[in-house]
Structure 1
Amino acid sequence: MAQLEYKDLLDAGVHFGHLTRKWDPRMAPYIFMEKNGIHIIDLNKTLSCLDQVEVAIKQIVRSGRKIMFVATKKQAQEIVSEEARRLKMPYVTDRWLGGMLTNFGTIRKSLKKMQTLEKMLKDETTVSNIAKRERLMLTREKDKLERVLGGVADLTRLPAALFIVDVKREHIAVSEAKRLNIPIFAICDTNSNPELVDFPIPSNDDAYKAISLITLAVGKAIEEGLMERKQDKDDQRLAEEEEAKRQADKAQSEVEASAPAPATEGDAE
């Protein structure tokens, strides 16, 4: 991860928490002070938490598993969806469907339906045989499914972990992940309960710049994990090729050693 510095967090407004009257006492270890009725987040704790997040995320991604991004608040949707698409990770930015994790089988049925509608509407022969009104209804249904499920269209099994921007807003996703023992990485503002997640990242979860900075840092850790996975695969392939060559050379040597020696003139006499 490109090492974030204290100044980067300050410039992005990561330290600004909520009004003191809205705080969650369980965030006390991550709060530096109170100023003008607002809690100020301890950025040293933020940096420390980001280091832990980096190590854990790299380990998950290096093993070939997926991390789902979850952020349905308006100011987070664009940056989160862009980063998730860049990394080819699943994401939810429209709304969280209840049971998206705990009832994954039903979600997969909805995904199949979306893919079927897409194929049907692309087939000119089929479309020409459907009434205009019905075609409009099917298109609307497909668009609705794509809006809600488009980010998880390629998900064939449950994600290995979740990255969540706002713990309070995404409480259903949090509770589903906890029920299935799926690790949670989450931005926790001063009004959040950090005990609900495995890897809290104390930060402002409302300002676009703060959300963007933390999301990109998490994305960078995922990217490095993917690169390490690729390197592992390359190393394994080279090792296998070298072993195959060694075995071939060994077999050739054995063949040559067992072959009868060519006859000499003395032997012929």
Structure 2
Amino acid sequence: MPDSVLGEVVITRPLAQAEGLARRVTALGRKATVFPLLDILPLADQASLQQALRDLSGYALIAFVSPNAIDAALAARADWPRDIPMAVVGEGSRLALARHGLTAENSTIISPTDLDRTDSETLLAELDLPALRNKQILIVRGETGRPLLSEALRAAGAQVTLLAAYRRVAPVFDATRRRELKRLLHGQNDWIVTSSEALRFLMQMVAQLDEAEGVAKMQQQRIIVSHIRIGETAQLLGFSNITVTRSGDDGLLAALQSRT
């Protein structure tokens, strides 16, 4: 099917994480449009993050909730200890660790083995919870985040410390982005969305446009999401054409190829 019929592939990840996927989409013969729905910003006080990471020797496990958490933490402390096991949720986080030189060859990395669903629930299934009882665990995340992992670990008797390493905010919705969003609404595009929070920001942006039936036009777009939870959010927001893929870029690309 020609690109003009398929429309564009709108990648809504934060800019730094969107570019690699955009190159792979282009290699498939599709037009990739990067339209970030989240900005990842450093903490206002980097000194407190660096202080918290200075001595990690008391932790039995360090869990990172996202690639952003990994990048922020390892930017704050470059000499990351390789003798402390790390837990991550998905393929993107494993790749982020690898960019910093941390791999299965030189570190203990725990992650879900079911690649069709990678989240806190499936990560918990891989952890030896009885062995973590009374142990110190550090969870590195954004300023806000889903509490399921920390609550489950505490329920298992672990002593959990939450460490904010970055901020997630909605991008500035300026005149340039307004024009771009209006243009995209007038096509039938494939939107790659990897965050429920980002999807809610998108609908808030659409509602601010002086666009006749803008919300209805957005709800008719095809949404490709990387987790069933995001798909449920899309349903609640009125989307009807939702494709849920396995975790990671390969799953997202496979969903695109099913249209070509």
State if a TM-score over 0.5 links the two structures: no
Structure with the higher helix share, 1 or 2:
1
Q: When the two structures are superposed, what TM-score results if normalisation uses the length of structure 2?
A: 0.29
Structure with the higher strand share, 1 or 2:
2
